């Protein structure tokens, strides 16, 4: 086929693909236009998840009748006059492409009246071809109706997700913008149902409740920080409220919602060591920077930005969040050297007639251990240490039974061992000193091709964990050594566990990856439920667990132990309480 210039119709559909991906992108562009027009009220109506209709009405400055035709042409904007201004943009739009793009893939009607004019005007665009501008009597402001989105690009229609998913994308977007602009009244109606309505009175916490629910919203911590021309405000979750993915981490930069990976990393790092492996905070943060210090023109849908001084911004955000987090996180009132670290001093240990003092002395001898612990405890107060336990025995070859200062403890031996191995391994890893032991006989492992690639990519990291694994022919690896911590375990099984983990991951950050690898190997290497342990092994496990920083959960966040307090036992046996 000879080279030729695409027809303007095809060219604009291609261009539209970048801006208009789904109904939510139309909502985004129209709401941004309304906010740029200084609206105090933005009302959004959708039918059939936006496929049939998206309507955005505002009371902003409006579009003059004689500019209406221009507004829908490509590269037509009132927000930018010269290339120089690209580096000092204070509006959400500037590319002059949204209305043209939307008009080329739908049936769009714009009705608008500019402030200080007598009448308004209307224009209709169908699949990119413009109709005539007619005069109409309407109030000041703009209404954009987008009907039959993608009616002329069936391929796009096919890529839309279920109505529920598309509706959720719209909800999410509108709620977040409502939060970012608390002084603007937002209303979102889906069919006859109003799903969001804000008062525009500036109260962000009220809007937060619609996003996260009242309970979570109440717990969210406020962040306010200012330094070197940077300003951060918004909300973050306390360490007790987490999610299993990063979807609830939202950043606005100068009023624009962006998906900026480095900022997400700054946020997660602020929570470092405070959250379980694979758990993420919730956050809605508003960053304000000098428009000249950030390039907003790096993404067609303006969803990414580039900072001139990325590191400065990164560390500012991290510090601000960390400070807010520590300021709001109660540090335990009991000195960590106290034996019953997680109980209030006033109650004190109960006299149980057992020889607890001996255990206490043994503990206090170990001063360095206690010292490092107390420091760490300040960082992760939510997990709390466990009391010293007196081992009673094992039941079902799965649980250890022990007596504590206040009742009975059931310990899940697998979860407990996972925790113990994990902390030991991570400690060695942090010191870059993982003792490794050569296998008597190197072991070969053959993997499916997809897993081979994954393992090859992560081989270096794996070997930093005390493994010695090498490529050994097609799809085959040879394990020559493994961490001493796991001596006697099945190396091949560890390797397979790791590859499975790589498969599941959506490109985690480096340090998450490390913790996940460690957690995964430890899971595979830990004693299983159903494995009987000798008395010595049981005792060693309990002692090791006592020495952990976060003994109460396994690295995946499941509990290692269940506590039946004396009080509870007494109630259950009818010795105490209501009768
Ligand atoms: P951009 O927002 O990048 O300038 P758009 O295609 O979204 O490009 O809009 C083109 C122009 O139409 C805008 O620059 C603005 O002047 C005008 N416009 C669009 N929507 C509105 C609105 N709701 N109120 C007032 N003016 C609007
Ligand atoms: Mg725009």
Helix (H), strand (E), coil (C) string for 222-249: EEEEEECCEEEEEEECCCCCCECCHHHE
Q: Is residue 277 pLDDT above 50, yes or no?
A: yes
Tens of pLDDT, residues 171-207: 989 999 999 999 999 999 999 999 999 999 999 988 9
Whole-number pLDDT of residue 506: 52
Task: Give the ligand with the smallest distance to the CA of 72.
Answer: 1
pLDDT of residue 377: 32
Q: What separation in Å is there between the alpha carbon of 161 and the centre of ligand 1?
A: 28
Check residue 382 and report its DSSP letter.
T
- pTM listed for this prediction: 0.63
pLDDT for res 214: 82
pLDDT recorded at residue 507: 54
Which has more pLDDT, 329 or 103?
Answer: 103
74 lines ligand 1 (CB under 6 A): no
Residues with Cβ within 8 Å of residue 88, at least 6 apart in sequence: 291, 292
Helix residue spans in 300-366 (DSSP H): 310-328, 356-365
pLDDT in the model for residue 373 = 31
pLDDT exceeds 70 at position 379: no
- Across residues 114-121, what is the average pLDDT? 94
In the reported structure, the alpha carbon of residue 353 is separated from the centroid of ligand 2 by a whole-number distance in angstroms of 75
> Is-contact 482 439, C-beta < 8 A?
yes
C-alpha 482: how far from chain center:
33
* CB 249 near ligand 1, within 6 Å: no
Q: Is the pLDDT confidence value at 221 over 60?
A: yes
Other beta carbons within 10 angstroms of residue 13's beta carbon come to 22
For residue 94, the ligand 1 atom closest to its alpha carbon is 3
Name the strand (E) or helix (H) holding 142: strand 141-147
pLDDT of the residue at 314: 92
For the chain, what's the residue count? 579
Rounded to the nearest integer, the mean pLDDT of the chain is 83
Supply the pLDDT for residue 100: 93
- Of 18-22, 165-169, 193-197, the one with minimum mean pLDDT is 18-22
User: Residue 352's pLDDT is what?
Assistant: 32
- Decide: 29 in ligand 1 pocket, CB within 6 A: yes
List CB-based neighbours of ion ligand 2 within 5 Å: 33, 93, 98
Q: Is 248 in the pocket of ligand 1 (CB under 6 A)?
A: no
Q: Answer yes or no: is the C-beta of 94 below 6 A from any ligand 1 atom.
A: yes
pLDDT at 353 over 50: no
Q: Residue 288 Cα, ligand 2 centroid: separation in angstroms?
A: 20
Sign of CA dihedral 134, 137, 141, 145: negative
The mean pLDDT of 357-377, rounded to a whole number, is: 33
Q: How confident is the model at residue 578 (pLDDT cuts 50, 70, 90)?
A: low
pLDDT at 487: 78
Residue 96 Cβ < 6 Å to ligand 1: yes
| Cβ proximity of 258 and 152 under 8 Å | no
| Residue 247 pLDDT > 50 | yes
The whole-number pLDDT of residue 114 equals: 96
Residue nearest ligand 1's atom 16 by CA: 78
The pLDDT tens digits of the residues spanning 428-474 come to 988 888 899 888 888 888 887 777 877 887 788 888 888 899 988 88
In whole angstroms, what is the distance from residue 309 CA to residue 322 CA? Answer: 20
CA distances (Å), 342 to each of 281, 332, 384, 386, in order? 24, 7, 6, 7
Cβ of 101 less than 6 Å from ligand 1: no
CA of 20 to the centre of ligand 1 (A): 15
What percentage of the chain has pLDDT greater than the value 70? 88
From 53, 380, 503, select the one nearest 44 (Cα to Cα). Answer: 53
The whole-number average pLDDT for the span 414-418 is 94
The CA distances from residue 548 to 89, 335, 427, 430, in Å, are 52, 17, 11, 15
Task: Say what angle helices 413-430 and 510-525 make with each other, to 10 degrees.
Answer: 140
Q: What is the mean pLDDT of residues 14-24?
A: 84
Return the residue matching tokens 């979102």.
Answer: 188
User: How big, in percent rounded to 5, are the helix, strand and coil portions of the chain?
Assistant: 40, 25, 35
Please work out, in degrees rounded to the nearest 5, the angle formed at the alpha carbon of residue 356 by the alpha carbons of 355 and 357.
Answer: 95
- The whole-number average pLDDT for the span 480-492 is 83
Residue 508 is predicted with a pLDDT of 56
Mean pLDDT for the stretch of residues 545-574: 85
Confidence class of residue 126 from pLDDT cuts 50, 70 and 90? very high
Write down the pLDDT at residue 350.
Answer: 33
- Per-residue pLDDT, 335: 31
Please compute the mean of the pLDDT values over residues 82-92 and round it to a whole number: 80
Q: Is the pLDDT of residue 488 over 80?
A: no
Could you tell me the CA-to-CA distances from 99 to 30, 501, 510 in Å, in that order? 8, 44, 41
Identify the pLDDT of residue 323.
87
Q: Which tokens hold the place of 107?
A: 């049936």
Higher confidence at residue 336 or residue 324? 324
Quickly state the pLDDT bin for 83 (edges 50, 70, 90): confident
- Report pLDDT for 375: 61
pLDDT of res. 392: 93
State the angle between helix axes of 356-365 and 367-379 in degrees (0 to 180), rounded to the nearest 10: 90
Strand order in the sheet with 476-483: 436-446, 476-483, 468-471
Residue 63 Cβ < 6 Å to ligand 1? yes
Least confident of 42-51, 163-172, 372-381, 487-496: 372-381
pLDDT above 70 for 522: yes
Residue 16 Cα to ligand 1 midpoint, Å, equals: 16
Least confident range from 49-53, 81-85, 95-99: namely 81-85
Cα–ligand 1 centroid distance for 184 (angstroms): 18
Higher pLDDT, 87 or 20: 20
pLDDT confidence of residue 216? 85
* pLDDT at residue 386, rounded to an integer: 79
What are the backbone angles phi and psi of residue 466, rounded to the nearest 5°?
95, 5
33 lines ligand 1 (CB under 6 A): yes
- At residue 74 the predicted structure's pLDDT band, cuts being 50, 70 and 90, is confident
Pocket test for ligand 1, best of 77, 106, 122, 300 (most atoms within 8 A of CB): 77
Q: Is 73 in the pocket of ligand 1 (CB under 6 A)?
A: no
Give the helix/strand (H/E) hosting 165: helix 163-180
SS3 readout for 167-214: HHHHHHHHHHHHHHCCCCEEEEEECCEEEEECCCCCCHHHHHHHHHCH
The closest of 151, 73, 66, 55 to 110, measured between CA atoms, is 55
Residue 115: what pLDDT? 94
pLDDT of res. 332: 32
Range of 66-80, 410-424, 465-479 with top mean pLDDT: 410-424
Give the span between the Cα atoms of 296 and 485, in whole angstroms: 50
Q: Of all atoms in ligand 1, which is nearest to the CA of residue 142?
A: 23
pLDDT band at 384 (very low <50, low <70, confident <90, very high): low
pLDDT of 359 strictly over 50: no
Q: What's the CA-to-centroid distance between 94 and ligand 1, angstroms?
A: 9
Question: By percentage, how much of the chain surpasses pLDDT 90?
Answer: 40
For residue 101, pLDDT beyond 60: yes
Question: Looking at ligand 1, which atom is closest to the CA of residue 141?
Answer: 24
């Amino acid at each position: 086929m000879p080279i030729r210039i695409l027809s303007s119709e095809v060219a604009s559909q291609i261009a539209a693909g970048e801006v208009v991906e789904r109904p939510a992108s139309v909502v985004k562009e129209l709401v941004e236009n309304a906010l740029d027009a200084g609206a105090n009220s933005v009302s959004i109506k959708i039918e059939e998840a936006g496929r049939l209709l998206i309507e955005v009405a505002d009371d902003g400055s409006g579009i003059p009748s004689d500019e209406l035709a221009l507004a829908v042409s490509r590269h037509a904007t009132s927000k930018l006059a010269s290339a120089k201004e690209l580096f000092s943009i204070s509006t959400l739009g500037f590319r002059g492409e949204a209305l043209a793009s939307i008009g080329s893939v739908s049936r769009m009607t714009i009705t608008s009246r500019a402030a200080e004019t007598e009448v308004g005007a209307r224009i209709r665009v169908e699949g990119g071809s413009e109709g005539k501008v007619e005069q109409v009597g309407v109030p000041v402001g703009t209404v954009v109706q987008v009907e039959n989105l993608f009616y002329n690009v069936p391929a796009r229609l096919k890529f839309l997700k279920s109505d529920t998913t598309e509706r959720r994308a719209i909800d999410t977007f509108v709620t977040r913008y409502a939060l970012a602009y608390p002084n603007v009244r937002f209303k979102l109606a889906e069919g006859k149902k109003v799903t969001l309505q804000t008062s525009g009175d500036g109260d962000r916490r009220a809007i937060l409740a619609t996003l996260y629910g009242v309970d979570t919203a109440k717990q969210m911590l406020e962040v306010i920080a200012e330094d070197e021309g940077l300003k951060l405000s918004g909300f973050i979750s306390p360490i007790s409220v987490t999610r299993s993915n990063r979807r609830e981490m939202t950043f606005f930069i100068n009023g624009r919602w962006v998906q900026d990976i480095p900022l997400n990393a700054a946020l997660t790092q602020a929570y470092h060591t405070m959250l379980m492996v694979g758990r993420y905070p919730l956050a809605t943060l508003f960053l304000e920077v000098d428009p000249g210090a950030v390039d907003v023109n790096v993404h067609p849908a303006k969803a990414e930005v580039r900072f001139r001084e990325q590191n400065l911004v990164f560390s500012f955000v991290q510090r601000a969040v960390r400070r807010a987090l520590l300021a709001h996180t109660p540090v335990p009132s009991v000195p960590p050297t106290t034996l019953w670290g997680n109980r209030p001093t006033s109650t004190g240990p109960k006299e149980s007639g057992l020889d607890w003092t001996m255990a206490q002395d043994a503990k206090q001898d170990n001063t360095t251990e206690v010292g490092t612990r107390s420091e760490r405890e300040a960082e992760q107060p939510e997990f709390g240490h466990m009391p010293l336990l007196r081992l009673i025995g094992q039941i079902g070859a799965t649980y250890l039974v022990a007596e504590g200062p206040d009742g009975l403890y059931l310990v899940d031996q697998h979860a407990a061992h996972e925790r113990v191995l994990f902390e030991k391994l991570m400690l060695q890893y942090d010191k870059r000193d993982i003792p490794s032991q050569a296998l008597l006989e190197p072991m070969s492992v053959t993997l499916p091709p997809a897993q081979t690639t994954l393992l090859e990519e992560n081989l270096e990291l794996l070997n930093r964990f005390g493994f010695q694994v090498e490529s050994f022919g097609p799809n085959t690896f040879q394990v020559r050594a493994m961490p001493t911590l796991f001596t006697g375990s099945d190396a091949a099984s560890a390797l397979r566990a790791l590859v499975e983990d790589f498969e599941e991951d959506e490109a985690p950050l480096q340090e998450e990856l490390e913790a996940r690898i460690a957690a995964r190997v430890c899971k595979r290497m830990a004693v299983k439920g159903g494995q009987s342990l000798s008395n010595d092994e049981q005792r060693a496990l309990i002692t090791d667990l006592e020495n952990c920083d976060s003994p109460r959960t396994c690295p995946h966040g499941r509990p290692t132990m269940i506590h039946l307090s004396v009080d509870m036992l007494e109630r259950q046996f009818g010795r105490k309480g209501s009768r």
